[in-house]
Amino acid sequence: MPVVKYPRATEPLWHEWDRKAQKCGLRHTVYAVNGDQYTGEWLDNLKHGKGTQLWKWSRAIYSGDWKFGKRDGYGSYSIFDPVTKEYKKVYTGWWKNDRKCGYGTTLCPGGERYEGEWSGGLRSGWGRMYYEDGSIYDGQWLQDQPHGQGMLRLPNENRYEGGWKDGKKHGHGKFFYLDKGQLFEGIWAADIPKCGILIDFGRDEAPVPTQYPIPKV
């Protein structure tokens, strides 16, 4: 009985190339069309796991955790300084869905620094901000502004403790004029004291106390 031989079906060559092109697991540096490059782990053709991304245009670098193509987990973001020709970290902390989220530390131009909580890429929660002029704010934040309860200490050691709204003193608060030996306690609205009481506080230790008692006009 004659044997009928059927030609063996051959798989198109592009199927093999496509399998080889699928990125999964740890891979060597992969270059994008625009010049960006990524070195690290992949899952289903998406950056997933540990990896380092270099953006060609901004020359910024992110090194840390990825999840389905987005920065998610713990990582650091660095920018290139054209003056020193070196990279400096501007944020180290937690990320979620490609934005700062959770606890992290950021360095701003001029030496300012923020340490605290983030949400959606903005300072939100509890955090401490070191300003360029030497002032320090320690308290609650919302949408990148002091909001809630917090304390602002000025370079001359005077300080405000109380409520904040949209980055301004608002609500009940105390302002300690330690240089003059006085304390103002009252109600604030949009950075302006509306009503309250002013009393002596640490007057004996004050470097430049006000004349007291207040002279008659």
Distance, CA of 5 to CA of 17 (rounded, Å): 29
**pTM of the model as a whole:** 0.83
Please report the pLDDT score of residue 109 as a whole number: 77
Question: What is the total residue count of the chain?
Answer: 217
At 215 the pLDDT is: 47
**pLDDT, tens digit, for every residue of 19-74?**
666 777 777 888 889 999 999 999 988 999 999 999 999 999 999 999 999 999 99
- Classify 205 as helix, strand or coil: helix
Please, which residues bridge with residue 172 across strands? 187
Q: Count of CB atoms within 10 A of residue 50's CB?
A: 15
Beta bridge partners of 206: none
pLDDT of residue 16: 66
Residue scoring higher pLDDT (142 or 214): 142
* Number of C-beta neighbours around residue 137 at 10 A: 20
Q: Mean pLDDT across the chain, nearest whole number?
A: 90
The pLDDT assigned to 217 comes to: 41
Arithmetic mean of pLDDT, 76-94: 94
Q: Distance between CA 130 and CA 78 in Å, rounded? A: 20
Q: Which residue has the tokens 């992969």?
A: 30
Higher pLDDT, 165 or 28: 165
| Residue whose tokens read 């496509």 | 18
- Average of per-residue pLDDT across 81-99: 94
Return the bridge partners of 130, or none. 113, 136
- Report the b/e string of 60-99 with b at 16+ CB within 10 A: ebbbbbbbeebbbeebbbbbeeeeeeeeeeebbbbbbeee
User: In the predicted model, what is the mean pLDDT of residues 141-170?
Assistant: 97
- What's residue 2's pLDDT? 64
